[in-house]
Homo-oligomer: A and B are copies of this chain.
């Protein structure tokens, strides 16, 4: 409106309002029947002046250098071609692994800080390694430090949920030939009574033995028969059939099984049917393959220096850690609860362990929360409609520097999934990555009690922004 000084002020009969920021005003106007277009504006960096200064530095004088680095990181995250090439015990491929040592999810931590589900998983692994006769003896060895702990990420390995693995656990070897990088992940243990869900029962320990004695050798024979298996080609099909590739991998697992069926049928009698039963009962089988594939690509991307894009994101149930490309520094926050979750009957948030596992690597490569918009399964955990699932992906788009050209979502206008979490955007918008994940019991050893979508904590991203701004190249 222009001001009219010649006559009494005339108010317009109709107004339309654009509301920026807090919704209270908009709500008040809406109650009076006034149309309102809300804009989700927030004070940058929550108004923290140090952070605002850091962002001004990173978006200002440093912007060109960062954008150049980020473009190369995005290219690598997008163009990696991870392939499953072998399956072999950890000890045979991780030459630096010390004796009597377990690899675990998330950042490094001391036994005293290990959460209950991960403790149970460590005990089960120690028994499966025959380092202890039972879980009580394993607990003593762990408590007195006779068994060492190493975070898996230091060995280019990713392990899901509350996983701990010993040197005889079979690892799937994934090569990203485009970047000459190699990553590892254990075979997914499957649903139910299994250590990665924080169980240490005799049956859970048996599962580790099955992986070591049957699944590992059988899967190795399959890969030797088929040759390298292109994992992103399968994952690209999978996101088109409702897999977000984190919370749900059922479609991709089934596609893979059908692809390798001739090699499965040609396996020797000794173990073939047992391995087939394991695969038939494990709808999460592809999860660990997707994780190793993501890690192999992230290892290539993280060789780029001066970028603001996250290339490590992992949790151990106690702490949550991220690293930026080109840096060894792990920024940590306390592991958060899983905010939006559905629980199995008789369970609720009060029984839930904190967010755990290395699987959050998936959210860094355009999968998991980034692919939620294509997944009815995710929708079921966040409100029920595809629009609810799309809101998760929209949040990821807000903080990502690019888009995948491999993972496209028919239900999201055939657009590529958001790719490359930029700490600057995370801090600027006060929006942290959304991670589709399972929920474990905090203490009882009952295992999985639900699933949902976690939000990463903000402090570690803020610390990363401060450090990036402080570190002048």
Q: Does A379 have its Cβ within 8 Å of any Cβ on chain B?
A: yes
Q: Are A265 and B272 in contact (CB under 8 A)?
A: yes
Complex Cα–Cα for A240 and B254 (A): 14
Check if A384 sits within 8 Å of B275, measured CB to CB.
Answer: no
User: Does A167 sit at the interface, judged by CB under 8 A?
Assistant: no
- How far does the alpha carbon of A385 sit from the alpha carbon of B411 in the complex, in Å? 8
Q: Is the CB of B265 within 8 A of A410?
A: no
Which of the residues B262, B275, B386, B410 comes within 8 Å of A276, measured between beta carbons?
Answer: B262
Interface residues of A in 262-283 (CB under 8 A from B): 262, 264-267, 272-273, 275-277, 279-280
- Say yes or no: is A470 at the interface (Cβ < 8 Å to chain B): no
Contacts of A272 in B (CB 8 A): 265
- The answer to the question of A472 belonging to the interface, with a C-beta cut-off of 8 Å to chain B, is no
A37 at the interface (CB under 8 A from B): no
CB-contact partner of A251 in B251, B265, B385, under 8 A: B251
Is B411 touching A411 in the complex (CB atoms < 8 A)? yes
Closest to A409 in B: B376
Q: Does A242 contact B (CB under 8 A)?
A: yes
Chain A, residues 308-330, CB within 8 Å of chain B (1/0): the string is 00000000000000000000000
CB closest residue in chain B, given A240: B376
CA of A358 to CA of B442, assembled, Å: 55
Chain A contributes a number of interface residues (CB within 8 A of B) equal to 34
Q: Tell me if B280 and A258 are in contact (CB < 8 A).
A: yes
Answer whether residue A304 sits at the interface, using C-beta atoms and an 8 A cutoff: no
Given A257-B257, A257-B258, A258-B253, verify A276-B280 contact (CB < 8 Å): no
Interface bits A224-261 vs B (CB < 8 Å: 1, else 0) = 00000000000000001110000000110111011111
**A to B CB contacts below 8 Å, 28 in the list:** A240-B242, A240-B376, A241-B242, A242-B410, A251-B251, A251-B254, A254-B257, A257-B257, A257-B261, A258-B258, A258-B279, A258-B280, A259-B280, A260-B280, A261-B264, A261-B276, A261-B277, A262-B273, A262-B276, A264-B276, A265-B267, A265-B273, A265-B277, A266-B276, A379-B410, A384-B414, A386-B410, A411-B411
Q: Which residues of A contact B (CB under 8 A)?
A: 240-242, 250-251, 253-255, 257-262, 264-267, 272-273, 275-277, 279-280, 376, 379, 384-386, 410-411, 413-414
Cβ-closest 10 pairs across A and B: A376-B410, A265-B276, A254-B254, A241-B241, A261-B280, A261-B276, A265-B273, A254-B258, A262-B277, A241-B242
